[in-house]
Amino acid sequence: MASSLSLPQTTISDILSRLPVKSLTRFKSVSKDWAYLTSTPAFVSDHLRRSSSDPSLIVRCYNTQSGFDSVILLITDPTQNFACRHLAVPLDEPLPLFPKIVGSIGGLVCLDVSPCYASDFVLWNPGTKQFKHLPFPLIASTRSNPIWLVFVGFGFDSFNNDYKLVRIVSFKRNDGLPFVRAEVYSWKEGIWKELEDTVCFDSAIICGGQDGVVVVDGSLNWVAIGLQRYADRKVVISFDMRREVFKTIPLPALTRIGNVKVMSYMGLLAIAVYPLVFSANGNNMNRFEFSVLSDCEDGRKHWTNVVLAENFSKSLVPMGTWRDRELMIKQMGDRDNHPKLFLYDPIDERTKRLPIDCVDLYLQCYSHVESLVSVDGGN
Confidence tier at 229 by pLDDT (50, 70, 90): confident
Between 33-37, 146-150, 194-198, the lowest mean confidence (pLDDT) is in 33-37
Residue 57 lies in a domain: yes
Angle at 114 between CA 110 and CA 116, to 5 degrees: 125
Tell me the whole-structure pTM to 2 decimals.
0.90
Cβ neighbors of 121 (< 8 A, separation 6 or more) are 102, 110, 111, 112, 113, 114, 133, 134, 165, 185
Residue 26 lies in a domain: no
Residue 377 lies in a domain: no
* Per-residue pLDDT, 41: 92
Confidence tier at 1 by pLDDT (50, 70, 90): very low
Residue 217 lies in a domain: yes
Distance from C-alpha of 32 to C-alpha of 373, rounded to nearest angstrom: 19
Domain count, the chain: 1
Q: Give the CATH number of the domain where residue 252 resides.
A: 2.120.10.80
Question: Cβ of 90: how many Cβ atoms within 10 Å?
Answer: 11
Between 33-42, 91-100, 202-211, 291-300, the lowest mean confidence (pLDDT) is in 91-100
Q: 200: which DSSP letter?
A: G
* Per-residue pLDDT, 3: 47
Distance from C-alpha of 17 to C-alpha of 24, rounded to nearest angstrom: 9
Indicate if the pLDDT at residue 2 is higher than 50. no
Residue 29 lies in a domain: no
List the one residue out of 177, 68, 67, 161 whose CA is nearest residue 118: 67
46-68 b/e with 16+ CB inside 10 Å = b? bbbebbbeebbbbbbbbeeeebe
Indicate if the pLDDT at residue 109 is higher than 90. yes
List the one residue out of 211, 162, 167, 216 whose CA is nearest residue 190: 162
* Per-residue pLDDT, 69: 66
Of 232-241, 254-263, 275-284, where does the model show the most confidence? Answer: 232-241
Residue 15 lies in a domain: no
Which has more pLDDT, 139 or 341? 139
Distance from C-alpha of 195 to C-alpha of 41, rounded to nearest angstrom: 29
* Per-residue pLDDT, 340: 83
What percentage of the chain reaches a pLDDT higher than 90? 43
Strands (E), 311-358: 316-322, 326-331, 340-345, 350-354
DSSP 210-254: TT-EEEETTEEEEEEEE-GGGTT-EEEEEEETTTTEEEEEE--GG
* Per-residue pLDDT, 300: 84
CB distance 164 to 156 below 8 Å: yes
* Per-residue pLDDT, 242: 97
Indicate if the pLDDT at residue 351 is higher than 70. yes
Residue 27 lies in a domain: no
Element housing 194 (H / E): strand 191-195
Report the chain's mean pLDDT, rounded to a whole number. Answer: 85
φ, ψ at 76 (rounded to 5°): -100, 145
Mean pLDDT of 71-76: 86
Indicate if the pLDDT at residue 76 is higher than 80. yes
Taking only the tens place, the pLDDT of each residue in 275-319 is 866 544 455 567 889 999 998 777 788 999 898 887 666 778 899
Residue 34 lies in a domain: no
Range of the domain at 162: 40-368
Half-sphere exposure at residue 210, Cβ-oriented, CA atoms within 13 angstroms? 23
Taking only the tens place, the pLDDT of each residue in 193-214 is 999 988 888 889 898 766 789 9
Between 30-34, 227-231, 275-279, 317-321, the lowest mean confidence (pLDDT) is in 275-279
Mean pLDDT of 88-93: 75
* Per-residue pLDDT, 67: 53
Q: 185: which DSSP letter?
A: E
Indicate if the pLDDT at residue 65 is higher than 60. no
* Per-residue pLDDT, 64: 63
Distance from C-alpha of 89 to C-alpha of 122, rounded to nearest angstrom: 10
